[in-house]
Structure 1
Amino acid sequence: MDMDGDWSLPRPNTLFKVNSRPAGTSLSKKSSIATTFSSLATPVVAEAVQRAKELSTKTDVEGFHQLRVAFRKLRALYWAYSPYLGEEATAQATEELKRLAAVAGGTRDWDIARDLLDTAQKSGASIEPLVAAAREKRAQAVVHSQTMIRSDEVEAFLNDALLRAQTTLQSRCNDLPIRAFAEKRVRLAQRTLQKRSRYAARSETTHEEDLHDVRKAGKKLRYLLEFFQPVIKGGHGRTIKELTSVQNKLGQFNDIAASETLIRSASFDEVPPEVVQASLQWLETQKCRRMRAASRRVRAISGGDGRASARG
């Protein structure tokens, strides 16, 4: 569920308790749907709040990346529980989580673009002015992220959203066991991945948007398997490992495509147009190579049996 927009950040009267215990430690096959949501969401919220606090003073690459990942994991969790949370509540929460992830991702995107431009320069491309400009863009993105992601507001939003979700689930499915529900949601995520993989692989010419759709579907499935692994049938460690491998290949392509879009849309007043063009030509060449590699992996996972498709 991908939506844009803002959700107001009210401060709840009662805070949703967070702690740092690992996800899944209190999960069992006899747990209820309502209690597992709390168990799974709590450590992710704790990490997101901690990351947001750290980024008020730190600007490390990994910090912004992990904050964005935490927001994405929470979106996947809201999707999983949406049949009981309801469409409106799910939409409101995922809308704001997507916005926060995008703000955190602004710095990360310039980190990736800057690293790619460094590689281009080392390979012989004469783009030093653009490399320097990308460093400045990254610095500006840090300021924007720190301004827009205030840890106290993030904590208030997450506490309020999760308290509402927990209250809703306790009233609707407090006594319903988790196992069948979790397996059903995982199967739906698997079918979505299989459908998108086959769609992307059916043509000789793979489109960027199709690969992006496969990447998002695979990411959602991996997060759900990581969340629900303690309560669903069968061992899924290998599946998660293979999903991660495919995601890495798709991620390498996405980094190139996103950086190309970022540079095309940015304004570089102090950089000669021919320098920008040289960087775009290098990125285009690299994008084609990585797109072919990503397409091969997608075709491989789209043509096998049900388990192969699930692994992709």
Structure 2
Amino acid sequence: MSRQPALHRKMRPTRAFVILGDHGLRAVDKRLEALLHRDEIEDVHQLRVAIRHLRAVTWAFGPVLGAHVKARWKRTLHDMAGAAGPVRDWDVFIAETLAPALEMQPNDPVLTTLVQTAQARRVADHAEMMEKLAHYRQSPLPILYRDLIHIASETSDERLKGFAPRRIRKARRHVRDLARIARDGQTDHVHKLRIGNKRLRYAIEALSDVLPGRYRKRLRKKLVARQSALGDLIDESVARRLMAECLGCADALHDALPSDPQNVLRQ
């Protein structure tokens, strides 16, 4: 993503959201434009990253958004991320699991069939993704832009100086709660921790200009390391699920992660 606009501590939260929201929507729109003209793995990934950043901004400024506006942004961004999710899962599975295995055994008929099956399912999911994203670009996204016009006219006495650290503290408490729950090793719980970790990290990055150094540096560094480790755990789980789907034995899977998450959760 391009460098985000600068914030300052005396800025009103509504003004900051308009600035960051516009920046985020333009980043999403740029990725959508690229996807409409080509099928590149990195474009799907960057679209999801742009959406994650914008979802974190929406959460961070939730208290100053109207209930209907907040619900609309949350729903639209959730649906867009969900539309691109299956394609991204297939891309990672093919590139990081099947391709290395096939490179080691290029003439293996089972691996060849698995790759062909995965690619065919990716093609089907990609077509569905493009249909959904084209719809989102025509309808919900323009409405989000219009929301920013209305929000820009709203005023409040609060400033980012107090607002931003308070929101980060709340997100941090939530991540700690999620980490305690995720110690049971259940995939769904670890996945929720990963989402909460990302949201906190991206919220810190969005509000970096107005946050104390302990958030911008130490906490963010810790979150980046944990996000990478959690990503490896979830990617492993997704790879098992997609492998089972290709083999027609998805019902045999259970919800526990294949690897022990305790070392990650202690970070």
2:186 alignment partner, one of 202, 207, 218: 207
Q: Give the conservation status (yes or no) of the 8 Å contact 1:219–1:247.
A: yes
Cα offset, 1:123, TM superposition: 6.0
**In structure 2, what is the Cα distance between the partners aligned to 1:184 and 1:169?**
22
Corresponding position of 1:198 = 180
Q: TM-score, normalised by structure 1?
A: 0.74
Question: Between the two proteins, what is the percent identity of the paired residues?
Answer: 25
**Which residue in 1 is equivalent to 2:113?**
129
Displacement after TM superposition at 1:231 (Å): 0.6
Q: How far apart are 1:76 and its partner, in Å?
A: 1.7
**Contact 1:22/1:43 (CA < 8 Å) preserved in 2?**
no
1:44-55 alignment runs, 5 A limit: 44-55=24-35
Out of 293, 297, 300, the residue aligned to residue 264 of structure 2 is 297
Which amino acid letter does the alignment assign opposite residue 296 of structure 1? N
Q: Distance in 1 between matches of 2:242 and 2:61?
A: 34
Shift in Å at residue 127 of structure 1? 2.7
Residue 21 of structure 2 contacts residue 148 of structure 2 at CA under 8 Å; is this kept in 1?
no
**What are the superposed Cα offsets for residues 66-117 of structure 1, whole Å, 9 maximum, x if unpaired?**
1112122222211112212133321222112111111122221111121212
Secondary structure of the residue aligned to 2:99 is: helix
Alignment partner of 1:99 is 2:83? no
Corresponding residue number in structure 1 for 2:161: 179
- Is 2:36 the counterpart of 1:56? yes
Equivalent residues in 2 for 1:24-173 (5 A)?
Answer: 24-25=5-6, 27-115=7-95, 116-122=97-103, 126-150=110-134, 153-154=136-137, 157-168=140-151, 170-173=153-156
Once the two structures are superposed, residues 175-220 of structure 1 have per-residue CA deviations (whole angstroms, 9 ceiling, x without a partner) of 421121111111000000111112223xxx4221221121111011
Contact 2:194 2:227 in 1 (8 A): yes
Question: Which amino acid letter does the alignment assign opposite residue 150 of structure 1?
Answer: A
Distance in 1, matches of 2:39 and 2:218, equals: 34
Work out the CA distance in 1 between the residues paired with 2:133 and 2:2. Answer: 24
Shift in Å at residue 156 of structure 1? 5.3
Q: Which is richer in helix?
A: 2
The two structures, once aligned, show a CA RMSD in angstroms of 2.8
**Could you tell me the TM-score, scaled by structure 2's length?**
0.86
Alpha-carbon contact 1:33-1:177 (below 8 Å) kept:
yes
Is the Cα contact below 8 Å between 1:107 and 1:142 reproduced in 2?
yes
**CA deviation after TM superposition for structure 1 residue 30, in Å:** 1.2
The answer to whether the 8 Å contact 2:178/2:189 transfers is yes
The alignment partner of 2:213 has SS state of: coil
Letter in 2 for 1:231: V
Deviation digits for residues 111-154 of structure 1, max 9, x if unmatched? 11212123344566843211111112222222222222128x52
Match of 1:217, as an amino acid? G
The equivalent of 1:261 in structure 2 is 241
Runs ≥4 in structure 1, deviation > 6 angstroms?
none
CA distance in structure 2 between the aligned counterparts of 1:164 and 1:47, rounded to whole angstroms: 17
